């Protein structure tokens, strides 16, 4: 089983498949004259069924995860930019494609098309988030100011409200799965282990996920009857994610400590509930964090309660959006 912070617990095949002899795309060597690139947000949905893999050229690698490799690609005809997620061989892309292609929210990364690959699998043509992951932003800019944390919280909670209302639970909320745009938007991505619940309020018994962001009842299922409330589990993961943005590093272990299974077990299941340092957070933020990170999932706040919390509902929307936009733009600009 893989651990820990970057990796998921998974029984899936993790072998890396990078096509070598038959590239998926021709490189963008002979670039044609293109108008200034537009991102895929503007692409009319009516085009989506007409796409083929051969219509795109690869521009860059955006990320590599357990599930696959994500490329920045350009549509040859329109020059519009997209992200293309190509699953590793053997990873079940179809379930992610099925969930994501039915979602339509400004807070959830949009799936424009699901394209068959030569290996018989599928690749997901996604809206490009031009600011990359929030994980990369915090890596480049360090701790977020409170105003930017409030904006990420508001938008990520809006995504969870949208998903949970449709009985979709994400189960892998973490900084690497929240994408940012330079316009100051946050979009939840990576539905590789998401589930559609048979009925609203159903519990889950799936323990696949990223250990470091798992709630106590997911990390130690035996102590909790073997099943858990997946909506409450998403709330905990978002709480850890927001705390990480606030302090600028993974918050449940001391800086520099190796995130082993045992260290995480102690921190998540046996430690005090995680909280921001008193000097680094307003009373509103501390109360908000405490509501997200109640160890007993039955006492944890719901997404609706958190959206109504003063830390989110009473934020200065323009100022917090501006703070986030600035951070993302700074993180995206080339280093001097
Ligand atoms: P993991 O198993 O590590 O969670 P994964 O293989 O399922 O990851 P994703 O999380 O979907 O893959 O994507 C990996 C990375 O690629 C993201 O963390 C992000 O940096 C980048 N990425 C993914 N989708 C996009 C997108 N639409 N726009 C910009 N960057 C993206
Ligand atoms: Mg991911």
Tens of pLDDT, residues 21-49: 334 444 444 344 565 556 654 443 434 46
Delimit the domains of the chain by residue range: 10-126, 134-332
**How many angstroms separate the alpha carbon of residue 295 from the centre of ligand 2?**
25
What number does the ligand 1 atom closest to the CA of 8 have? 2
Name residue, tokens 């299974």.
261
pLDDT exceeding 90 applies to what percent of the chain? 69
Structure confidence by residue, pLDDT tens digits, 262-300:
999 999 999 999 999 888 799 999 999 999 999 999 999
For the Cβ of 190 lying below 6 angstroms from any atom of ligand 1, the answer is yes
Among 172, 190, 229, 234, the one annotated catalytic:
172
Structure confidence by residue, pLDDT tens digits, 96-109:
999 999 999 999 99
Name residue, tokens 């490189």.
27
Distance CA 1, CA 275 (A): 29
Tokens of 227: 């099943």
Sign of CA dihedral 220, 222, 225, 230: positive
pLDDT at 43: 44
In this structure, the residue with its CA closest to atom 15 of ligand 1 is: 63
pLDDT at 45: 40
pLDDT at 306: 98
Lowest pLDDT segment from 2-11, 165-174, 263-272: 2-11
In this structure, the residue with its CA closest to atom 7 of ligand 1 is: 67
Distance CA 47, CA 299 (A): 46
Structure confidence by residue, pLDDT tens digits, 103-143:
999 999 999 999 988 877 789 999 999 999 999 999 999 99
pLDDT band at 335 (very low <50, low <70, confident <90, very high): low
In the CATH hierarchy, which fold is given to the domain comprising 10-126?
Answer: Phosphorylase Kinase; domain 1 (3.30.200)
pLDDT of 52 higher than 60? yes
Distance CA 75, CA 55 (A): 6
Structure confidence by residue, pLDDT tens digits, 192-232:
999 999 988 899 887 789 999 999 999 988 888 888 999 99
For the Cβ of 239 lying below 6 angstroms from any atom of ligand 1, the answer is no
**Which one has a higher pLDDT value, 5 or 230?**
230
Distance CA 265, CA 4 (A): 11
pLDDT at 116: 86
pLDDT of 3 higher than 90? no
pLDDT at 117: 84
Q: Which of 211, 132, 143, 127 is nearest to 171 (CA)?
A: 211
Q: What is the mean pLDDT of the chain?
A: 86
pLDDT at 277: 86
Average pLDDT over residues 161-170: 97
In the CATH hierarchy, which fold is given to the domain comprising 134-332?
Answer: Transferase(Phosphotransferase); domain 1 (1.10.510)
Q: Is 293 exposed, middle or buried (0-12, 13-18, 19+ CB in 10 A)?
A: buried
**How many angstroms separate the alpha carbon of residue 305 from the centre of ligand 2?**
27
Beta bridge partners, 276, equal none
Please choose from 41, 133, 134 the residue to mutate so as to test ligand 1's pocket, defined by most ligand atoms within 8 A of CB: 133
Q: Which residues contact 196 (CB under 8 A, 6 or more apart)?
A: 99, 166, 167, 168
Structure confidence by residue, pLDDT tens digits, 54-105:
999 999 999 988 778 999 999 999 999 999 999 876 666 788 999 999 999 9
Q: Which residues contact 187 (CB under 8 A, 6 or more apart)?
A: 106, 107, 108, 109, 110, 127, 129, 155, 159, 178, 179, 180, 181
For the Cβ of 133 lying below 6 angstroms from any atom of ligand 1, the answer is yes
Please choose from 2, 61, 62 the residue to mutate so as to test ligand 1's pocket, defined by most ligand atoms within 8 A of CB: 62
Distance in Å from the first CA to the final CA of the chain: 41
pLDDT at 91: 63
C-alpha dist (Å) from residue 153 to 73, 149, 218, 219, 289: 29, 6, 22, 23, 10
Is 220 one of the catalytic residues?
no
């Amino acid at each position: 089983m893989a651990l820990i912070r970057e990796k998921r617990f998974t029984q899936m095949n993790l072998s890396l498949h990078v096509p070598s002899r038959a590239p998926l795309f021709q490189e963008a060597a002979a670039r044609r004259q293109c108008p200034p690139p537009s991102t895929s947000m503007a692409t009319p949905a009516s085009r989506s069924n007409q796409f083929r893999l051969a219509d795109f050229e690869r521009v860059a690698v955006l990320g590599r995860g357990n599930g696959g490799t994500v490329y920045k690609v350009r549509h040859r005809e329109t020059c519009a930019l997209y992200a293309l997620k190509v699953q590793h061989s053997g990873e079940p892309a179809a379930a992610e494609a099925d969930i994501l292609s039915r979602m339509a929210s400004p807070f959830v990364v949009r799936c424009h098309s699901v394209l068959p690959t030569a290996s018989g699998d599928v690749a997901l043509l996604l809206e490009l988030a031009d600011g990359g992951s929030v994980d990369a932003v915090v890596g480049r800019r360090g701790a977020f100011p409170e105003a930017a944390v409030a904006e990420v919280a508001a938008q990520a909670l809006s995504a969870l409200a949208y998903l949970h209302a449709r009985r979709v639970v994400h189960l892998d909320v973490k900084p690497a799965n929240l994408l940012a745009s330079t316009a100051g938007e946050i979009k939840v991505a990576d539905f590789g282990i998401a589930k559609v619940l048979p009925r609203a309020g159903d519990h889950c018994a799936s323990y696949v996920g990223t250990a470091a962001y798992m709630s106590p009842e997911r990390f130690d299922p035996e102590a909790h009857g073997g099943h858990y409330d997946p909506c409450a589990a998403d709330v905990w993961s978002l709480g850890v994610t927001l705390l990480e943005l606030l302090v600028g590093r993974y918050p449940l272990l001391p800086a520099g400590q190796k995130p082993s299974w045992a260290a995480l077990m102690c921190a998540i299941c046996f430690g005090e509930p995680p909280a921001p340092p008193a000097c680094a957070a307003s009373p509103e933020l501390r109360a908000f964090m405490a509501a997200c990170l109640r160890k007993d999932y039955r006492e944890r706040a719901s997404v609706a309660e958190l959206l109504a919390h003063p830390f989110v509902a009473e934020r200065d929307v323009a100022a917090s959006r501006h703070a986030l936009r600035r951070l993302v733009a700074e993180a995206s600009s080339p280093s001097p």
